[in-house]
Structure 1
Amino acid sequence: MIQTVRLIKKRLEFGNFAYHYWLQPIERNKIVVSTHYGRGYSDSPKSIIAELLHQDFDIVWLVQAGQEKTLPAGVRPVRYGSKQAIRELATAKIWIDNCRQKYSPPKRSRQIYIQTWHGSLALKKIEKDAEKQLCAAYLDRAKRDAKKCDYMIAGSEFCQQMYAESFWFSGEILAAGTPRCDVLLKKDASLLRYVAQRFQTSTTTKFALYAPTFRNGVDGTIYLQDFSKLHHTLQKRFGGEWKILVRLHPNAAALAKDMEYGENILNATDYPDMQELLAASEWLITDYSSSMFDMAIAGKKVVLYTPDLETYLERERAMYFNLEELPFQVTQNEEDLVAQIDQFDEAAYLKKIATFQQQIGSYETGNASAIVANKVKEIIAKE
């Protein structure tokens, strides 16, 4: 009985049962943002907010403990999942998130919720397309979240159709491009200097990024372990000084301590913004991560290292594309990986990238952040 009372009390204070916050007025200039369940300042919401900073907006970012330091001046941190976070959401005009909300008050008719999602294009099937593989709790949250959403942002015709058919979504889809990918299309010398400084390297250093995705119930032995041949080939084939950044998926970040690093192999798992690493890197080596599509938008070099391809396809979700249909070379051992980089034909690669972008109906122009920011300003101006 006591546990039941506590559960009811918790539901009244948090989540979709917090109706008592309706007594507080909506603040027309308040925007409340979250990414990756409070993990910090990143992804498409970061790019959108960058366009709105230092204007007449009260921008609140919901963050986990310790992530406050990632926020720039002009953004007010509030602890993710706290009563204060629920209060901020209840009184905001605009909500922006890149994941399904875990904690939120009931959305009011005058409030607008923009869901950016957290990828430019999916490889693994998601949401309704993977309904049998997703747990009941997530499906319930996803469906409730979808009913609240007013806008989603598509980077391509492919994504626009996916959101319309597979996200339980009936709002408006903005064919704007992917805000988080703008940084890949607009070369920012100051960002390159910042990344070089962060890893204590020269500004002329060239980066290759190794960024595998996570696996369910698999340890880190499946990841590439020896980078010596890869590093040697990059320097021999392309010249200059090279460093390899290793960034594990946030869901597998605990495995980063088991990787071997050195002067030329640097741990980048705790770097807060994946897009900045992609922007600073000339090569991406990944497996099943959607980051491959982000790099393709900028015409940057990608090769897939998939030593567990058969077992991955058996154990994980089905895919929207066969890997062989993608414009990237697929390798399943270290020798083949190194050989593909050594034999890389950039002209043929760029032709494949252009064909693929045309096939998916890409909307990417490098201006997505500004387009969505203007939509935010338009919504608030009408209030």
Structure 2
Amino acid sequence: MSRETVVFESWRGKYSDSPRAVSERLGELRPDLRRIWVVSGPDVQLPDDVERVVRNTPAYFLRIASARYFLSNDMMPRYPLKTRRTTYVQLWHGTPLKRIGFDVPDAKYAGADVYTRRLAKDVRRWDHLVSPNRFSTGKLRQAFRYAGSVLEIGYPRNDVLSGPGADDLRAKVRAELGLAPSTRAVLYTPTWRDDALTGSAAPNPLAAEAEQVLGGLPDDTVLLFRFHHLVAATSPVPRHPRVIDVSDHPDIQALYLAADLMITDYSSTMFDFAVTGRPMVFYTYDLAGYRDQLRGFYFDLEAEAPGPLVTTADELTAALADTDGLRRRYAPAYEAFRRRYCHLDDGRATDRLIEEVFS
């Protein structure tokens, strides 16, 4: 009797995110399943107990078409590969602050029309959509025009943030990055701008301001730049002894654990990082344009943010210099934020998914 096959795809060929968390847990609980990972090429590192298939090859299309389960955090290929025997679990990739899917007004990025047509086709294939919290469930249904099964269970990728191995993983990643125990690591995770894909977006200001900001902070502060994968290749990271480029790091959850503080803007990283309880600063230098013209929001960030919104390098430096003050002033807002968006981040989301889908 042949083994049932599970095909995993994350970010068009990376070993990462919620598909990775589910795959690794299935290896422990369901060794009878054949797990196959879609990779972008031979350089992607995988554990020894899974198979690989290279994206967009004939074998890739065959594996998806014959799979019993397909788990992804993005869309399937544009070709109609899903059969009725395949259960397609759409894990998606973030609690939405910014509008997504069909809710994006007058999308500004190149290829938007093609994307929305592909999205509509993909949504019709979903058997389950994973939601990270109560807030997201309604927003995801609305944004994707989806009326099927929603598994409101939390994101499997975040289990590690509150799991028993969190401290060990933090120490391991910091050592790999060359961070001393006394170093204060500040992770920077800006989202992408839709107009970046057309070449009309303004350059990221912190890349030019890093020396100024670091000059106003203690020498033990290091900036970890993590650009969005859609724009990382065209987003220069400043050359500075206290700046580390982590855009290619395969596991952002590990970077959350390694960091002592995070700077972001409108990225869904804010919801994941909140599980750690560590301070956040929001560098929202283009807030009005992004919120009112480029993308639009699902809630009022200024009212709910668990940290200060700053718009200049001087304001950013001042916020980063007062970590204790950040914790004290934003403790009530942070707790409210966690109650609303992190109530399912209890380290058991992966087990809940496996129970729902694979039992």
TM bin, normalised by shorter chain, reads 0.7 to 0.9
Q: Supply the distance in 1 between the matched residues of 2:232 and 2:339 (Cα, whole angstroms).
A: 35
Q: 5+ residue gaps in structure 1?
A: 1-25, 379-383
Counterpart residue identity of residue 89, structure 1: I
Q: Supply the distance in 2 between the matched residues of 1:27 and 1:347 (Cα, whole angstroms).
A: 58
Q: Does 1:262 align with 2:228?
A: no
Of 16, 28, 34, which aligns to 1:42? Answer: 16
Q: For this pair of structures, how many residues does the alignment match?
A: 345
Tell me, yes or no, if the aligned pair for 2:225 and 2:244 is still in contact at 8 Å: yes
Tell me, yes or no, if the aligned pair for 1:220 and 1:255 is still in contact at 8 Å: no
Residue 247 (structure 1) shift: 1.3
Q: Which has the larger radius of gyration?
A: 1
Of 243, 254, 259, which aligns to 2:222? Answer: 243
TM-score by length of 1: 0.83
Q: Report the 3-state secondary structure (helix = DSSP H, G, I; strand = E; otherwise coil) of the residue aligned with 2:129.
A: strand
Please list, as runs of the form range in 1=range in 2, the aligned pairs for 1:39-118 lying within 5 A after superposition.
40-53=14-27, 55-69=31-45, 71-118=46-93
Closer, same or farther: CA 208–47 of 1 in aligned 2, 3 Å: same
Q: Supply the distance in 1 between the matched residues of 2:15 and 2:10 (Cα, whole angstroms).
A: 7
Q: Supply the distance in 2 between the matched residues of 1:104 and 1:32 (Cα, whole angstroms).
A: 16
Name the Cα RMSD after superposition: 2.3
Residue 287 (structure 1) shift: 1.4
Partner of 1:293: 271
Q: Supply the distance in 2 between the matched residues of 1:221 and 1:359 (Cα, whole angstroms).
A: 30
Q: Supply the distance in 1 between the matched residues of 2:55 and 2:76 (Cα, whole angstroms).
A: 11
Q: Report the 3-state secondary structure (helix = DSSP H, G, I; strand = E; otherwise coil) of the residue aligned with 1:88.
A: helix
Q: Report the 3-state secondary structure (helix = DSSP H, G, I; strand = E; otherwise coil) of the residue aligned with 1:244.
A: strand
Counterpart residue identity of residue 363, structure 1: L
Counterpart residue identity of residue 121, structure 2: R
Q: Supply the distance in 2 between the matched residues of 1:222 and 1:264 (Cα, whole angstroms).
A: 17
Tell me, yes or no, if the aligned pair for 1:196 and 1:205 is still in contact at 8 Å: no
Partner of 1:196: 174
Q: Supply the distance in 2 between the matched residues of 1:175 and 1:74 (Cα, whole angstroms).
A: 29
Of 284, 288, 291, which aligns to 2:262? Answer: 284
Q: Supply the distance in 2 between the matched residues of 1:359 and 1:162 (Cα, whole angstroms).
A: 14
Of 30, 33, 42, which aligns to 2:8? Answer: 33
Q: 5+ residue gaps in structure 2?
A: none
1:53-88 deviation per Cα after TM superposition (whole angstroms, max 9, x unaligned): 25122111111124432x222121111111101111
Is 208-217 or 309-318 further displaced after alignment?
Answer: 309-318
Partner of 1:156: 133
1:347-366 deviation per Cα after TM superposition (whole angstroms, max 9, x unaligned): 34232122123345832212
Q: Supply the distance in 2 between the matched residues of 1:188 and 1:347 (Cα, whole angstroms).
A: 24
Q: Supply the distance in 1 between the matched residues of 2:345 and 2:61 (Cα, whole angstroms).
A: 34
Residue 290 (structure 1) shift: 1.0
Is 151-160 or 218-227 further displaced after alignment?
Answer: 218-227
Partner of 2:157: 180
Tell me, yes or no, if the aligned pair for 1:86 and 1:105 is still in contact at 8 Å: no
Counterpart residue identity of residue 161, structure 1: G
Is 199-208 or 266-275 further displaced after alignment?
Answer: 199-208
Residue 209 (structure 1) shift: 0.4
1:319-357 deviation per Cα after TM superposition (whole angstroms, max 9, x unaligned): 112221222210000111122233433134232122123
Of 320, 333, 347, which aligns to 1:352? Answer: 333
Q: Which runs of 4+ in 1 moved over 6 A?
A: none
Q: Supply the distance in 1 between the matched residues of 2:40 and 2:312 (Cα, whole angstroms).
A: 38
1:92-150 deviation per Cα after TM superposition (whole angstroms, max 9, x unaligned): 1100000111245442222211000011x111101121264272211121111111111
Counterpart residue identity of residue 85, structure 1: Y
Q: Report the 3-state secondary structure (helix = DSSP H, G, I; strand = E; otherwise coil) of the residue aligned with 1:65.
A: coil
Q: Does 1:225 align with 2:201?
A: no
Q: Supply the distance in 1 between the matched residues of 2:259 and 2:342 (Cα, whole angstroms).
A: 25
Q: Supply the distance in 1 between the matched residues of 2:142 and 2:18 (Cα, whole angstroms).
A: 22
Q: Report the 3-state secondary structure (helix = DSSP H, G, I; strand = E; otherwise coil) of the residue aligned with 1:210.
A: strand
Is 354-363 or 157-166 further displaced after alignment?
Answer: 354-363
Tell me, yes or no, if the aligned pair for 1:147 and 1:168 is still in contact at 8 Å: no
1:12-31 deviation per Cα after TM superposition (whole angstroms, max 9, x unaligned): xxxxxxxxxxxxxx965210
Counterpart residue identity of residue 294, structure 1: D
Closer, same or farther: CA 350–46 of 1 in aligned 2, 3 Å: farther
Closer, same or farther: CA 76–168 of 1 in aligned 2, 3 Å: same
Q: Report the 3-state secondary structure (helix = DSSP H, G, I; strand = E; otherwise coil) of the residue aligned with 2:209.
A: coil
